[in-house]
Every structure is written in C-alpha cells, then in structure tokens.
Chain A
Amino acid sequence: MTVDTMAAIRQTFFQECEEQLSEMEVGLLAMDEGNADSETVNAVFRAVHSIKGGAGAFKLTALVQFAHTFETALDLVRGGKLAPTPEVMKPMLRAADVLSDLVEASRDGREIDESSYASIAEDVKALTVIEGEAEEEEVIDFQPAVIDIGGPEVAPEPEGPKLHEYRIKFTPRPELYANANEASLIIRELSRLGQIEVNCDTSGVLDLDAVDPAGAYLSWDIKLNSEVPIESVREIFEFVDGEADINIETDGQPEVSAADIASLLALALGGNSTSETPAETAEAAPEMAKEPANEAASASSALTETPKNVAVQAQTTIRVEFDRVDRLINLVGELVINQAMLSQRVVEANFAGSSSVVIGLEELEQLTREIQESVMAIRAQPVKPLFQRMSRIVREVADATGKEVRLKTDGEATEVDKTVVERLAEPLTHMIRNAVDHGIETPEERVAAGKPPEGTVRLSAAHRSGRIVIEISDDGAGINRAKVRASAIKKGLISPDAQLSDSDIDNLLFLPGFSTAATISAISGRGVGMDVVKRSIQALGGRISISSRPGQGSTFSMSLPLTLAVLDGMAVSVAGQTLVVPLTAIVETLKPKNGELHGLGAEGRVMAIRNTFVPLIDVGTQLGFRDTPADPERSVAILVETGGGARNALLVDSIQDQRQVVIKSLETNYGTVAGIAAATILGDGRVALILDVDALVTGTFEDHLGESLRFGT
C-alpha cells in the first residue's frame, strides 16, 4: 500500500470519526434527556467502538485506550447494568468531549497530555466498578460481549456452554480496506473466541501488473471451535457489515438469519415443528411460545429488519470535494449571466411576445433558476453540528463557573450555506459563553430569585423570509442596564447626561472595548467583546439585535443570509464604473444640497444629516478612479453604517438599481484589493467590484494611498 493510499484511508477514517462523534454526541444528549432506549445506547456504543477499531488500525494508542475505557462504561449501560442517571451521564458527556479532542489531536498528529484528561478517564472507569464488575483485564481487548440483538433470543441460555464448530468464509470487498478496516484484525478477534484454523484462499490474486492496489483479492476459510453463540461471532463482523461477503456455517448447518428464525417460529407456532430446526432455535422456540404476544412483536421486528436496512442504504450520500461543487456553482452563475444576456438580445431583436423564441427563453429562464437553486442547496448544511459543539461549550463554562446550565436547541435541521455555518462557530461560541458566564446566575442566586437552580440557554434556528434567524436566549438575570450605563460613562463611551432608551443601553454592549464583567474572567473577558461578534456577523452580511427583560433573561437574535454566494446590493456608478454597495451596510440614500456640506481640514468634508455631521467619502477619488472630487450637488450620498455603529456618507455619481449579485473572489487569481470586498459579474458579462464599506470608511489601506489620505491625523 503506498503512502498516498494510506493517507487517503487515514483521511477517510477521520472523516468517519467526525460522523461517529456527532452521532455519539446526539445519542449521549438524548440519553441525558432521559431517552435511553436501546437503539440510542447501541448507536453511541457502535460509534465509540468504531472509532476505537479504526484508531487501533492506525496504532493511535492513546485514543484506543480512552475509547476502550469509555466503551466499557457504555457497554454496562447497554447491558442494563448501569442506569443512565444524570450522575452517570455527566462524566460520559465529558468523556465524549475528551474523545473528540483525542480524535482531533490524532488527526493533526498532536499528542494530548494524558494528565489533562486522566481525571475524566478515572471518573468513567469508576462507573464501571460501581456494580462490582471486576475489571480483570486492563489490556486493550475487544470483549466479545453477548448482546441482545433484538431477535427472539430473550432468555439466557439455560444450559452450560457447549462447543460449536463454525465454518466461516470471509471474503473482504475493496470497501473494507477503503474504510480503514483490516482483515487480519478481524481474524485476530476471532482467534480470541476459541480455537481457530485459518486458511487463506489466494486463488483470486492476479498477476502483479493487473493488481489494483486498492482492490481486494484474498479470502479466508476459517474454522473456529468456540463456546460462544453465533451472535458473538457475527458481532465481530458487524464492523465490516456490507464490506465483505461473510458466510458462517454452524456445526455443519448453514447460517440461520434472523428472518429465517422468524419464519421458522411461525411454522413452529402453526404446529409444524420441524426436525431440522437448529439447536439454538429449538431452544428459543418453546420460550417464545409461552409469550405469544411478545413473540409476535419480535418476529415482526425480525422480519422488518431486512427492509429497514434497504431503506438505510437507499439514503446513501456521496462525498464530494468542495472544489467541484464550487466549480459547478461558478458555471451555473455563468449560465445565469448568459441567459440574462440572451434575454437582452431577444428584447433588442423585437420578437413578438408570443413567438416561440420568447416562450422558449422563458422556459430556459425558469430552468436556469431551478438549477441555480438546486446547486446552492448542495452547499447547504444543517446547523446541527454547529449546535452540538455549543452544548460542549455550555458544559465547560458551566463547570468552570459553578453554574448549572442546560442547553436546549431548536431547529437543528435548518440548513444554511456551509461557509456561513463555519464562520458562525466563533461568534456563536462567544455568545454562548457570555450567556452562561454573564447571563445565567449562580444556583444560589437563582433559587433566591425563585427560579429553578438549573438555568437554561436556548439556541434556535429558523428560516424567515429568505434568511436564517438564529436566536440565543437565556433565562438569567437580564442586562443590568444601570451597570451598563455606568460602565459606558466611566469608559467615556457616552456622556453622563445622555438620554438613552433601554434598547440604546442594550446596544452599548456592541461598542468596541465594552465589558461589564467586574473581574475579567478566563471565559468571556478575553479582550474580544460583543463588538467583535457584531463585526463577524456583519462580515457575513448579517444583523444582530438584542432584547432583554430584567430578571427574565436576554435574547440575542441574528439574521443571516442563507448563502454567501449571492449578495443583495445597490449598483452605483462612479467615474464610469459600476460598483456594488452591500445593502446590509446602507442606512439611506440622500441627495446632498449645497448648504449641507462643510469642509474640514485640508481635504476633509462632512455632510450635515438632520443636524449630525458625518464624514463624506468620495468613492471615486478614494479608489483612485479620478483625481478631482466629484461635484456633490450632482452626486448621490449613500449613508452607510459600519462596525461599531459609525456612520459615513459615500459620494457616488448615480444609483443604477438594487439587485442580487453573485459573489466572485478576487483573491483566487489576484489578491486582496484595498477597499474592495469581492467582484461580481454583471448582466452584460463585465466584472463589477463590490465595495468593502468598512475598509473604505476606516481607511485601513492608508499605506497604499500614500500621502493623499494623511489629513486629519
């Protein structure tokens, strides 16, 4: 196997780990909520087990060891020996966090100091001893636990163990290796069940030059003498289910599937007891007959097993590199532009409205729009993984602050563009930290206020009029407005006699450099405040608002575009060029009058808008499109608001219209351009630039402009 394939397999393993971890988290949270049905527990167990198995193949010892400890505890829950009480679930959830840390560290090739999670490992280990279940071997071992697979075998086997002879034909398919499984590991596990005799069938091996390195050519004939029931043997192959052809014969009899047993049972109940019934079924059948009602249910569940598997397989997904999707999106964008151009030409050619050309074109337009929507949907992802990460943040912060907090999520299935999901993680983390650290009171304070000691942070997502709205609310004390006000005055952010409404005061939180925490805590007082959150939300083309009721808690509400591929903008003309101003930044547009403009300093100009003066920025000269400033009276001013709430007026020649534009990166083939956020392609096929209002206003690109901008400083 070449290094490349190993790397690819490794990558697949970690991709799958991510899925397993997410499944595990979902299951654990459900268990924590009290929904510890066997399917959920099994799912969690399987996830941890799979991670352990994969990690073993890559010799990730630390990961394997921890997963093993975790798995042992889970196995007890699965076997009903350990009840998933809150006391049990707490270390379990922490263990889940450690497991994901370990996976992440292994992926990045880092090592995590064992002492950092030793206490959690101990806690989890302690769970396994509660029941007096002596852990005889601490060696890493795949324990062949006998589990109830939901089949008819309800009662434990009444008689002593007896020796079975299994004949197993094991033929891995290429998928098995592609999924980072290893045939030898399976065989090694089998060898632990009893006496084993393995013959490798090499008849499938081709000549060396015909061999596909990723193929599977070997198969094994395995003879196993063991006391364990067939389920335990099959369990070993559970891992590679669907990735290998497995045929197990017991004591000379072909393997009996659950469905077969069910049909046999049906026969047996019908009075036609068959002599060929294998030993196990014969034992089970009389047991079942005593409880006909129960049996019917099991039989039907066994019967539905096969169609259920089929249904799962029908919902298959494929992994596609994002580059490919992006290329497709680009092409569709081009298609949209092309179609717009074609429409334009047809209009110019003066075809009759009923002509087949016009009708055909309308159909094309509809199709294009549908294609565009479908393609955008490929990039859409549910916010679920993002929300799951937040539950961890809540746990950590609650632990660190000695608070009791529960995270409730809503609308996890809401879909939004992948990039939005990714870039939301940081602001959301920050806000969740704030909600727990500043919002929720300590249990004592809560009890004193007549609330339950456990606080609740609610995280919800929903689609609303073409945008996604994410809300974070807590049932804490709400914003202490007097304190906020005092702090703002102390920091010189507002004047002591300023008249502020409640919502004005709440919005002070978004001012740069504002922090109300009396002592800077390690959790939320790390020098970045809500202003940073607001900026990152705005950078995503979103808006954030806040509402709070004393004693009842606060709600932060964010409204974001569903995709970063398109943007609502205002197309304006500046020095013969078309530029796009993002609509989220625009407050209003004005026609400057002579008396409203005032000079300030050598080149600075301000504009009076309802008795406040805002700096006037001539976009044409600022971008170097012309040397002499435009005549304001023949121009249009666009009032924009930037991060931190600063207002500025942008002077442009004229406004063309408002439109949705497809965002194209300038960085891909060129680089960043000061004052320009991105580019787009207009209906006539030409490129137009999208303004970066923040950079334009703050003049962060002064250096590029040299002397011309040095006024006023």
Chain B
Amino acid sequence: MENVSSSANGVNREFVSFHVGTQEFCIDIMGVREIRGWTQATPLPHSPTYVRGVINLRGAVLPIVDLAMRFGIGLTEPTARSVIIVVQVHQQVIGLLVDAVSDILTVAEAAMQPTPDIASELAKTFVKGVYAVDGRMISIVALDSVLPVSSKAAA
C-alpha cells in the first residue's frame, strides 16, 4: 500500500464487483474468502436491521450483513440470484448479502479516485474511493465500517 505512489505504473489490484440495488461496488479480492448462495439466516435478537442474522458456514457461525440496508438503500429481498460474499475483516469472518456478483476487475492501484465529495453518510462512511471502469462508477467498500461498532468492540 505504501509504495503505491512511488511506482510510476502503479500496482495492479483485483476486485470483486457486485450490485447493491442499482449501484455497483467492489471489494479487494484478497479479502474475499468465498461466494455462496443465499440461505435463510437465523435472526439475532436486538441486532441492527442490517444484520440479517447468522448462518452456518461449515461449522462456523457467520453473521450476515445486508449491504443495501447498511448503506441506507433499503432492505434486500433475497432472491435465487442473491449471493453472500464471505469476507475476512481483521479477525472476523462475515457474510455480505448482495444482489448479484458481476465481475472481477483488474485495475491499477493508482487509478483509484477519491470519493466524490457529496454529503451523504453512505459515501463518507462506507466508500474508500471509486474507480471508473467502462463508463461505470464502482465504489470501493470500506469493509472496516460494515459491522456495527458495538459488536466489534465486544469481540
């Protein structure tokens, strides 16, 4: 990360891109553990609305975060096409519920643009930056902010 600016051509990074509502997001492929279909989650009491519950991932209990709800876009109605992207955030493994996975992108590190300065909570909290790919805007999700602060502190 540190040597990004020093390199003239930039380092290439790979991202998994996906749709949440009508918007397109991506996360670093290195953080992605697996992608699996939607299964009914067991709701957790007193959890924020964007935590859809927990599922069994080969013996581990995996919390599922509804990214659309987390980003304030609205509750996701899981369909057969909905997928769970299993990601590692620090020591935790969580599942992100998204509408569909679209692509794997290879982009130059240096091509990342700062998040456009709009006064929305979504942009400020959850987007690290954006890429322009074939005329589309793809936002890079800041995974650190996805889980609620309280549960991270408790873990």
Contact A675 B45 (CB under 8 A): yes
User: CA of A331 to CA of B59 in the docked complex: distance in angstroms?
Assistant: 6
CB contacts (< 8 Å) of A577 on chain B: these are 42-43
B56 touches which of A668, A672, A673, A681 (Cβ 8 Å): A681
B81 shortest CB reach to chain A, Å: 21
Interface string of A683-699 (1 = CB under 8 A from B): 00111110000000000
CB contacts (< 8 Å) of A704 on chain B: these are 46
CB contacts (< 8 Å) of A667 on chain B: these are 154-155
Contact A670 B92 (CB under 8 A): yes
CB contacts (< 8 Å) of B43 on chain A: these are 577, 625
Contact B59 A679 (CB under 8 A): no
Interface string of A656-689 (1 = CB under 8 A from B): 0000000011111111111110010100011111
Contact A681 B59 (CB under 8 A): yes
Contact B63 A688 (CB under 8 A): no
A664 touches which of B53, B60, B148, B154 (Cβ 8 Å): B60
Tally of contacts, chain A with chain B, CB under 8 A? 96
User: CA of A685 to CA of B54 in the docked complex: distance in angstroms?
Assistant: 12
Closest chain B residue to A336 by CB distance?
B59
List chain B positions with a Cβ less than 8 A from chain A. 40-47, 51, 53-56, 58-63, 92-94, 147-148, 150-155
Q: A667-B155, A681-B56 are in contact. Are A687 and B46 (CB under 8 A)?
A: no
Contact A624 B61 (CB under 8 A): no
CB contacts (< 8 Å) of B59 on chain A: these are 330-331, 333-334, 337, 664, 681
Q: Is there a chain B Cβ closer than 8 Å to A322's Cβ?
A: no
Contact B56 A666 (CB under 8 A): no
Contact A686 B46 (CB under 8 A): no
Q: A331-B58, A685-B56, A686-B56 are in contact. Are A670 and B63 (CB under 8 A)?
A: yes
User: CA of A333 to CA of B60 in the docked complex: distance in angstroms?
Assistant: 10
A686 touches which of B40, B94, B155 (Cβ 8 Å): B40
Closest chain A residue to B155 by CB distance?
A671
Q: Is there a chain B Cβ closer than 8 Å to A701's Cβ?
A: yes
A232 shortest CB reach to chain B, Å: 53
Q: A669-B63, A672-B154 are in contact. Are A623 and B92 (CB under 8 A)?
A: no
Closest chain A residue to B153 by CB distance?
A671
CB contacts (< 8 Å) of A625 on chain B: these are 43, 45
Q: Is there a chain B Cβ closer than 8 Å to A705's Cβ?
A: yes
Which of B59, B92, B148, B150 has most A Cβ within 10 Å? B59
Which of B44, B93, B153 has most A Cβ within 10 Å? B44
Closest chain B residue to A687 by CB distance?
B42
B62 touches which of A334, A669, A672 (Cβ 8 Å): A669
User: CA of A673 to CA of B43 in the docked complex: distance in angstroms?
Assistant: 11
9 more contacts with CB within 8 A, not counting A623-B46, A673-B44, are A577-B43, A624-B46, A666-B54, A666-B61, A671-B147, A671-B152, A671-B155, A704-B46, A705-B46
B60 shortest CB reach to chain A, Å: 7
A689 touches which of B42, B63, B92, B148 (Cβ 8 Å): B42
Contact A676 B44 (CB under 8 A): yes
CB contacts (< 8 Å) of B44 on chain A: these are 666, 670, 673, 676, 689
B92 touches which of A668, A672, A673 (Cβ 8 Å): A668
A305 shortest CB reach to chain B, Å: 49
Contact A669 B45 (CB under 8 A): no
Closest chain A residue to B58 by CB distance?
A334
A669 touches which of B42, B46, B53, B92 (Cβ 8 Å): B92
CB contacts (< 8 Å) of B63 on chain A: these are 669-670
